[in-house]
Amino acid sequence: MKSQPGGGVNYLCLPDRDVELYELSLGIRDASVLTAVEYESQTYGLFPNNIDNKHAVCSVCDTESRSAVLTIPARTTCPSGWTKEYHGFMMTNLDTKAHPTTYECVDSSPEAIPIPSADTGGQLWFVKIDCSGAGSVGMCNNYRHGSQLTCVVCSK
């Protein structure tokens, strides 16, 4: 993700094989640029292995008997009657970047595409709680300043 003011705001889960593209020969010069998404995990120690600057893989929840999938921020367990698919950390693009993205729940044991690390600019950063501003009053009764926002993906 380059720091351009436009483009999409959600992450795309692209297939790694059987890709079908339309090759334009029209010389289009005004188009959005799509880059790989990479983990910006630095040395926080939240993931079991160092995946900093490695390209993220994505997954799709496909359940045989459960049709509803729900992501719950600030939780690592599911409500009664729901099945936990995985838990992890809420991640998104850095808030100082000009290009916003959606929040994604990334598994606490993430995988990376097996290629060398490269800083391509498409970034997944941890979301941390900020209790220092006036807009945080009340929210921080139950949240600790500076803690990373957890998440759980549940199905039913």
pTM, whole model, 2 decimals?
0.71
Say if residue 152 is exposed, middle or buried (CB neighbours under 10 Å; 0-12, 13-18, 19+).
buried
Give ∠ CA 46-124-54 in degrees, rounded to 5: 80
Q: Give the domain ranges of the chain.
A: 1-156
The residue among 105, 67, 63 whose CA lies nearest residue 86 is 105
Give me the phi and psi of 96, to 5 degrees please: -90, -5
The pLDDT tens digits of the residues spanning 5-53 come to 666 787 777 666 776 766 555 555 665 666 667 877 776 677 766 788 7
What residues form DSSP beta bridges with 86? 153
pLDDT in tens, 53-89: 787 877 766 677 778 888 999 999 999 999 999 999 8
